[in-house]
Amino acid sequence: MLESPFRLNPPNGDEPKAEMPIHKWPLIKASSVTPKAVSWLWYPYVPSGKLTLLTGDPEMGKSWIICAIAAAVTTGKPLPGASGRLPPQNVLMMSGEDGLEDTIVPRLTAMGADLDRVVIPKGVFTLDQAGVRSMHEAMKRVSATVVFIDPVQLFFGAKRDMNKANDVREMMAGLHEAAEACGCAVIVVRHKRKAAAGNALHAGMGSMDFTAAVRSELHVYKTKQGVRIFEQIKCNLAPHGASMAYAIVDGVLEWGDFLEKNAAPPPPVTSVDHAKKWLEEFLRGGGKPMVEVQAAAAQAGHSPATLVRAKMQICRSEKHKEGWWWVLNSQKALEQAELQTPGPKIEVEGPDTPIISTAPPAPETDIEALERFARAKMRATTR
């Protein structure tokens, strides 16, 4: 008969020592487990009932991104890549850096969030065992679909070390248990470390166990050309999602197109770009009164601030008897081109046949322009 591995056998016939205590594990058969599909808040970036990590440098727009997600969830609007509207849901937003009155609420308002569905705990508390239990109770009370923790280091607590795997695992295990119990997505925001890491999975502050504990990690950064990129660098539950460009325009985060793998990211098409295109079409036939342009732009869905920014890039204002008009800058260039006459022809000697070219006319001075205008007016009056 085999000796129990939990009994210390005495050497040389000495008195037997006390047996080590045996802890009975709860055991189940795999055949008794009913498989279930993964639920998603935003496929394949944010799974429901799981933890997601959002990592990036300061000023990359991490808080803007969670406000954009909150706006979509509370109004039922689809996030990029999703189709169809969903029932509006509640969110729990734990923010320790940004002010409620001057930052968070104005951003949510600008992005069209339903503020009655955004619940924000007052103050910052530690996510120790008691803190996680309190968070779990709050999730149940408000029926939260997603919880944002921004940034995690402010909720970690002074008695624990973000660089120690055991401390990180303890907190993340509690968050995962709460998320799974409520079927709620939990998005944890953290900053990147100061020293650049060759592997994006090692770029975040604290222990590697932050990345190990989550099922999805999202990374935001800026290219050399200044384009902001949203990229998924870890996903255990589905194929990695495509990267996206994004921009912050007029207090609103706007998503760009999905990027092909290894493709150079183009700048995202923003609301200002849409307004510029609309202005070019609306003013193609010539300038129009400013009030008429503003009224038509509002009817087309362009905000006053966006319209002004677009106008500054491609239009100018002109004073008319009826008031101010907006005219395309390209229209002025076209009018000047029509007024110019062809320059003298110059023959260039070549090896075979002479080449005829047209020299550009000399730029017209102000005096010459006035004289030309006076001559045209005299001809019109003498007819």
DSSP secondary structure of 31-76: GG----PPPEEETTTEETTSEEEEEE-TTS-HHHHHHHHHHHHHHT
Q: Are 187 and 146 in contact (CB under 8 A)?
A: yes
Give the start-end residues of each E strand in 204-314: 216-222, 228-235, 243-249, 252-259, 288-289
Q: Are 91 and 147 in contact (CB under 8 A)?
A: yes
Task: Report domain extents, the chain.
Answer: 40-259, 271-335, 339-375
Give the chain's radius of gyration (CA, Å).
33
The half-sphere exposure of 192 on its side-chain side, counting CA atoms within 13 A, is: 22
Phi, psi of 7 (to 5 degrees): -105, 130
- Give the percent of the chain with pLDDT over 70: 78
Q: Tens digit of pLDDT for each residue in 313-324?
A: 899 988 888 889
| pLDDT value at residue 308 | 87
| pLDDT value at residue 366 | 46
Structure tokens at 164: 């120690």
| pLDDT value at residue 182 | 94
In CATH terms, the superfamily for domain 40-259 is: P-loop containing nucleotide triphosphate hydrolases (3.40.50.300)
| pLDDT value at residue 9 | 53
CA distance 196 to 230: 18
Q: Of 157, 172, 164, 91, which is closest to residue 124 (Cα–Cα)?
A: 157
Tell me which amino acid residue 53 is. L
| pLDDT value at residue 47 | 96
| pLDDT value at residue 320 | 87
Largest Cα span, the chain: 138
- Across 161-173, average pLDDT: 93
Check residues 60 and 1 and name the one with the higher pLDDT: 60
Q: Are 174 and 186 in contact (CB under 8 A)?
A: no
CA distance 93 to 170: 22
Check residues 1 and 23 and name the one with the higher pLDDT: 23
Quote the pTM value: 0.67
CATH placement of domain 271-335: 1.10.10
| pLDDT value at residue 352 | 44
Strands 228-235 and 216-222, by their bridges, are antiparallel
Q: Tens digit of pLDDT for each residue in 70-79?
A: 999 999 999 9
| pLDDT value at residue 245 | 94
Question: Which positions ≥6 away from 375 have C-beta within 8 Å?
Answer: none
| pLDDT value at residue 301 | 87
Is the pLDDT reported for residue 219 higher than 70?
Answer: yes
Q: Tens digit of pLDDT for each residue in 92-108?
A: 999 988 999 999 999 99
| pLDDT value at residue 267 | 61
| pLDDT value at residue 303 | 86
Q: Tens digit of pLDDT for each residue in 134-151?
A: 999 999 999 999 999 999
Q: Are 266 and 229 in contact (CB under 8 A)?
A: no
Helix (H) or strand (E) holding 211: helix 209-213
Under the banding of pLDDT at 50, 70 and 90, the label for residue 272 is confident
Question: Which positions ≥6 away from 13 have C-beta within 8 Å?
Answer: none
CA distance 7 to 216: 44
| pLDDT value at residue 285 | 87
